Structure 1
Amino acid sequence: MSAKLVLGVSGNITRPSKTKAFVEHIVGQVAVRIDAASVTFDIQDLGLSLGQARRLGELDPAARNLVERVVAADVLVVGSPTYKGSYTGLFKHFFDLLDPSALRGKPVILAATGGGERHSLIVEHQLRPLFGFFEALTMPTAIYASDRDFADGALASDAIRARAQQAVAEACRAIGGTESVSLAA
């Protein structure tokens, strides 16, 4: 097994989740290209202790383990469904628990889903500033997918797949990969 880890965090609290499927798709693409292990979790996987925790030490052991994996990952792919023009509250609460320096310099691919195009700027106006605060290395290409980009819960849009491949190539270069940029899905 590879020593590298690509980790996905989905801000969705329902299952099945288009957001989690979208994040898993991107995580899988990065992992294949850098020969890394991959794992994706959603906020629900953190359990009941998340909502009550005011600091990391108040999370149950399983949730703390997920936090440790986030901090240790070589690449993060983060995504949230759009609620009222922003990410979910528990998604934000999870990141509020992290030390401000925990993600410094870490390559992060930003992704979001929503019901329509009017929410597409969530990645630029909500997610990018959040990870800028952490001094993470957010990829220039962020990806937003609306309901019409999915079929039967899976990503179906060639345009969104191409945009995801562009972000994947950027992340690979950020961690020292030499693979050339390929926009083919």
Structure 2
Amino acid sequence: MKIVVVSAGLSSPSSTRLLADRLAAATLEHVDAETEVVELRDLATQIAQHLVTGFPSARLAAALDAVAAADGLIAVTPVFAASYSGLFKSFFDVIDKDALTGKPVLLGATGGTARHSLVTEHALRPLFTYLRALVLPTAVYAASEDWGGEGLAQRITRAGAELARFPAAATAAVTVAAPAAQHAGPGGAVDVDTAAAIAPRSLTGAVTSVDPAEGFVTVPFEQRLAALRVP
């Protein structure tokens, strides 16, 4: 399993990078995985050039390929003007439109005040839902006063456990069947990745199961969440 961490922090050291690292560490407590960090601050000029020319540099192309090939993604941004930063958005503007389809994504954000805590829900979650990613239930926002607090540590632990368990849970939620001939492979079976990609999502971003008799069946949110809870 490979986890790619995208951090859009601008300073060094950065609270955004710190949150990203802690989310990655929390994930690795529950799964044996390889991690790679994409620091957008180091790619800012190349991202801007790609937006203008349409051609990525070798270094930016490697970062985009890493995100596309990842089994899971951790994406963390600082809050600017009550939303994600322009650098963060620009990176996901240049990524291939299908790169995040069916990919579990753990969201994080940092800001100076708790008043921006819903940025993960009104800005980040819609962005990744549009990109057809599978956004995890727990998103982590860290205000300046949260650092060192028990509440932040608990949210990080919970979110990391969700990302570690999500690939297995998502696979279990998708029955390998043939709801439609156009999506069927040899012997009438549907590839798991294809089923996850074409299955409709509920408002929470959860995948639905595929029932051979009824087609797509929505899995209740509580049932999905129960499968991801830490024992």
Q: Same fold (TM over 0.5)?
A: yes
Matched with 1:24 is: 21
Instruction: Please list every run of 5 or more consecutive structure 1 residues that lacks an aligned counterpart in the other structure.
Output: 151-155
Alpha-carbon offset, residue 55 of structure 1: 7.4
The yes-or-no answer on 1:109 pairing with 2:109 is: no
The yes-or-no answer on 1:171 pairing with 2:163 is: yes
Q: SS of 2:97's equivalent? A: coil
CA contact (8 A) 1:165 1:182 kept: no
The alignment's TM-score, normalised by the length of structure 1, stands at: 0.87
Aligned-residue Cα RMSD (Å) equals: 2.1
CA contact (8 A) 1:75 1:171 kept: yes
For residues 131-146 of structure 1, the aligned pairs below 5 Å read 131-146=128-143
Matched with 1:71 is: 68
CA contact (8 A) 2:44 2:87 kept: no
Instruction: Please list every run of 5 or more consecutive structure 2 residues that lacks an aligned counterpart in the other structure.
Output: 173-226
The partner residue of 1:8 within 2, 5, 19 is: 5
CA contact (8 A) 1:9 1:42 kept: yes
Count of residues in Structure 1 that have an aligned counterpart in Structure 2: 175
The yes-or-no answer on 1:161 pairing with 2:158 is: no
**Deviation by residue 1:114-138 (Cα, 9 ceiling, x = unmatched):** 0001111110011000100111010
Structure 1 segments, 4+ long, off by >6 Å, are 177-180
Matched to 1:96, the amino acid is D
Matched with 1:50 is: 47
Matched to 2:98, the amino acid is S
- The structure with the larger Rg is 2
Kindly, what percent of the aligned residue pairs are identical? 35
Cα distance in 2, alignment partners of residues 29 and 167 from structure 1: 8
The alignment's TM-score, normalised by the length of structure 2, stands at: 0.70
